[in-house]
Amino acid sequence: EIVMTQSPATLSVSPGERATLSCRASQSVSNYVAWYQQRRGQAPRVLIYNTSTRATGVPARFSGSGSGTEFTLTISSLQSEDFAVYYCQQYSNWPSRTFGQGTRLDIK
Amino acid sequence: EVQLVQSGAQLKKPGESLKISCKAYGYSFIGYWIAWVRQVPGSGLEYMGVIHPTDSDTKYTPSFQGQVTFSADKSITTVYLQWTSLKASDTAIYFCVRVEDYGHFQFWGPGTLVTVSS
């Protein structure tokens, strides 16, 4: 099973600043990585798929990059609604899918 | 509009059986796999497996193989997640989600909270 490891577990950032979240795969997953945002009490919402494609309706301040085993989600200027938990997911081999353990983004 | 509507919260006792549902609206039901994802309160997301509504082809992750059963009724565009004997450790929120052509998860149901307690 491919293991996805996210860092840091918790990130404290001030509104308006940039946040950078990392995700490492235990083996190459090509570009088959998605990022999800989960606000408290809500279902997850896809932000990015195929490493860098923003899902419909996702603001341009969210961007994804990486390849192989190292991936990054960047939020360029944090808004109040961005403080949530973020998960990466790999989907490189059907039907296997695994999530990272999540990064909590807190207000500093 | 694509929607996945899940059945309501359940409170059950250990050893009881349960079947929860996920009804799809707004797209060709037989065109997409549906995945189930578990989230223990306060914890992360766990992928349980997938089912294809056309022929009920199912694929379970090893952790959930033999512990749960997926099924589908395409006549009413609904998929199900079933337990025959619940344990306290099954307490969680269960999400159904549509698997997109690229393989990621786009449309999520709101989740069903299952609480197993004596």
Alpha-carbon distance B24 to A30, whole Å? Answer: 31
Under DSSP, the state recorded for B8 is P
Considering chain B, what percentage of its residues have pLDDT values greater than 90?
A: 99
For chain B, the distance separating the N- and C-terminal CA atoms, rounded to the nearest angstrom, is 40
Percent of chain A at pLDDT > 90 equals 97
Going B101 to B95 to B19 to B62, the CA torsion angle's sign is positive
Sequence-ordered alpha helix ranges (H) in chain B: none
Contact residues, chain B, for A102 at CB < 8 Å? 44-45
Per-residue confidence (pLDDT) for residue B86, from 0 to 100: 98
C-beta neighbour count of B61 within 10 angstroms: 17
Mean of the pLDDT values across residues A30-41?
Answer: 97
Q: Chain A, 11-50: which have a CB under 8 Å from a chain B CB?
A: 32, 34, 36, 38, 43-46, 49-50
Closest CB from B46, B49, B104 relative to A91: B104
Give dist(CA B64, CA B72) in Å, integer. Answer: 18
Q: What is the pLDDT of residue A64?
A: 98
pLDDT tier at A67 (50, 70, 90 boundaries)?
A: very high
Grade residue B103 by pLDDT with cuts at 50, 70 and 90.
very high
Instruction: Please provide the DSSP assignment of B9-32 as one string.
Output: PEEE-TT--EEEEEEEESS-GGGS
**Does any CB of chain B come closer than 8 Å to the CB of residue A89?**
yes
Residue A87's Cα: distance from chain center in Å? 5
pLDDT value of position A100: 98
